[in-house]
Structure 1
């Protein structure tokens, strides 16, 4: 029986192009789509590849493993997975890990037991099945944001080093030289990369890192409140704060206001994510847009690609980011 590789070879295109033609024909040039469809017809390959592959697994369901449900980024990612899964007749099951390895592995047991066809992971931990995989082929698991380059698995992420470096560069362009930083959970690769990017941004600007104005906790509003209070009480000079999430940034703005400091007149604040509420902050939040729904959508598509051709699915997608300038940042006034 013909397979996706046969179609790609006959049409003179890549396996990914065949996959895209089957799943998202509107994104493929008409001439390319014509070649692919002619190859499918010539090879008598008239089955919906994605649907038939998943039906063989009998579950028609995937698991999305997340640490908790309190974060807006998580909600957006899950919605993105749901958008693509629904289009393909696949159910989405939610698995909350609480950041525990054993709970994550328990969720994967459902995949191994054919109760689910695959798993999308946003978690500080990596499924043990990937770490212990010696088959030479990727498992039906897609990692999002958290990754290890040496592991054999598809993944979707942002270039978090450049995200944070760009945040610093933007503030430096506004003449800020004393830039504070509030991190999320430092156990996460995403957080470690962003903090590395913060330091890189300062080095690029010829500035030194002041460890006394780096604080952190997790990605909740409460971290923004507590870390900003600690920064104020430290007595160290800073004129801007880079926050690893918009929720942290909103907490920071609240605390600065409570301390009688105005944003951005006294302190500029910049977040990351561009969650729904960022534009409604007081003032509206300058942020770097990281579309978590796009992460979920791409992760689900990678999982579908796994069923089309497992070997071709071992790839990495790095999504773009965008600085959104609003009212929480401003040019530093001379003399500050």
Structure 2
């Protein structure tokens, strides 16, 4: 059986740091904790607490599968999950879904070997087969952020369509008649819903939908920069842009200013998510705020209720959003 020294060597830290990360995770940095968690999985190390839990057929461990751990959108969701879990004495392990697909020794093995009590999915692009027929081989699961009705899982999320509609409707009420959108990847369910909300708002305002002003991107700063260049080459430049997340929007602001455009005088920009950066970019970003901490907290709470044997409603639970008005939007100058 692996020892704490084995874990320390794999993680590149001292045994004292391993002990703190496992027993008092709040006393080490998130980066160090992640190194230790990965080393624990790779080595197969079991703490005495975990062994005692296994005797009771529980590990006091929850696994969270995140689409992209580098995306700041997920930070508050993870904080909410950890807050709820820690109150019940649970350890939370995080795994990036793309990295998990490429790793032999991963968090996913904990699920199949019953060394994790529950699983929280923060997206639909999964490194495991979570179909209803396969769920008997997995611990209890909850989904958050995205909704996949075919999985028949309890899900905590927002109404992406309505939130997008309200954001674009706000731009129309300001007087904008040439509104573009920069979407997420075409495979993203939430981007599809946000595009539907965008089109419904245009129809409500009596504005035509122009596919040349709907630019596909991924959820990155660089994608916002590239998308802004494409929009600038359009014969009729938009006066407003609705972006499917804040990171894209911040990239758009950066490139618009490089082009000599004034935000919001020449171009109004709305983002989505209300990550912390959105308040501190220049100008501060008008955006759709998601209750991200609450999404994470409720997802963990639902999972913990399942683990206690409580009956949990299968299906969608919608939380409210709010349009946060800042200085990146105003009526058009032309």
Query: How does the TM-score come out when normalised to structure 2?
Result: 0.78
2:133 corresponds to: 132
Alignment of 1:50-129 (within 5 A): 56-98=56-98, 107-126=107-126, 127-129=128-130
* CA separation of 1:311 and 1:139: change in aligned 2, threshold 3 A: farther
2:148 corresponds to: 148
Asked if the contact 1:183–1:216 (Cα under 8 Å) also holds between the matched residues in 2, the reply is yes
| In 1: Cα distance, 2:104 partner to 2:158 partner | 23
| In 2: Cα distance, 1:151 partner to 1:204 partner | 33
Secondary structure class of the residue paired with 1:180: strand
Task: Please state if 1:255 is matched with 2:255.
Answer: yes
Secondary structure class of the residue paired with 2:215: strand
Q: Deviations over 1:180-200 (max 9, x none)?
A: 001122211111111111111
2:183 corresponds to: 183
Alignment of 1:158-173 (within 5 A): 158-173=158-173
Q: Deviations over 1:74-119 (max 9, x none)?
A: 2221111111111111000011121776769964442232211111
Secondary structure class of the residue paired with 2:98: coil
Secondary structure class of the residue paired with 1:299: helix
Shift of 1:310: 5.6
Alignment of 1:195-214 (within 5 A): 195-214=195-214
Deviates more, 1:93-102 or 1:234-243: 93-102
Task: Please state if 1:244 is matched with 2:221.
Answer: no
1:222 corresponds to: 222
Secondary structure class of the residue paired with 1:212: helix
| In 2: Cα distance, 1:134 partner to 1:303 partner | 14
| In 1: Cα distance, 2:197 partner to 2:101 partner | 28
Give the count of matched residue pairs: 281
| In 2: Cα distance, 1:68 partner to 1:144 partner | 14
Q: Deviations over 1:209-234 (max 9, x none)?
A: 11001112211111111101111022
Asked if the contact 1:161–1:197 (Cα under 8 Å) also holds between the matched residues in 2, the reply is yes
* CA separation of 1:55 and 1:300: change in aligned 2, threshold 3 A: farther
Asked if the contact 1:99–1:124 (Cα under 8 Å) also holds between the matched residues in 2, the reply is no
Shift of 1:289: 0.4
| In 2: Cα distance, 1:114 partner to 1:96 partner | 20
Q: Deviations over 1:224-251 (max 9, x none)?
A: 1110111102233311000111111111
| In 2: Cα distance, 1:92 partner to 1:117 partner | 10
| In 1: Cα distance, 2:83 partner to 2:182 partner | 32
* CA separation of 1:310 and 1:187: change in aligned 2, threshold 3 A: farther
* CA separation of 1:97 and 1:256: change in aligned 2, threshold 3 A: same
* CA separation of 1:299 and 1:310: change in aligned 2, threshold 3 A: same
| In 1: Cα distance, 2:63 partner to 2:203 partner | 41
Asked if the contact 1:66–1:95 (Cα under 8 Å) also holds between the matched residues in 2, the reply is yes
Secondary structure class of the residue paired with 1:234: coil
Asked if the contact 2:228–2:256 (Cα under 8 Å) also holds between the matched residues in 1, the reply is yes
Unaligned 5+ runs, structure 1: 1-52
Shift of 1:55: 8.7
Unaligned 5+ runs, structure 2: 1-52
| In 2: Cα distance, 1:104 partner to 1:261 partner | 49
Q: Deviations over 1:269-320 (max 9, x none)?
A: 0001111111111111111101322211111011012123364242421111
* CA separation of 1:144 and 1:293: change in aligned 2, threshold 3 A: same
| In 1: Cα distance, 2:295 partner to 2:289 partner | 12
| In 1: Cα distance, 2:202 partner to 2:222 partner | 26
Q: Deviations over 1:146-184 (max 9, x none)?
A: 222232211111100011111110000100111000112
Shift of 1:64: 0.6
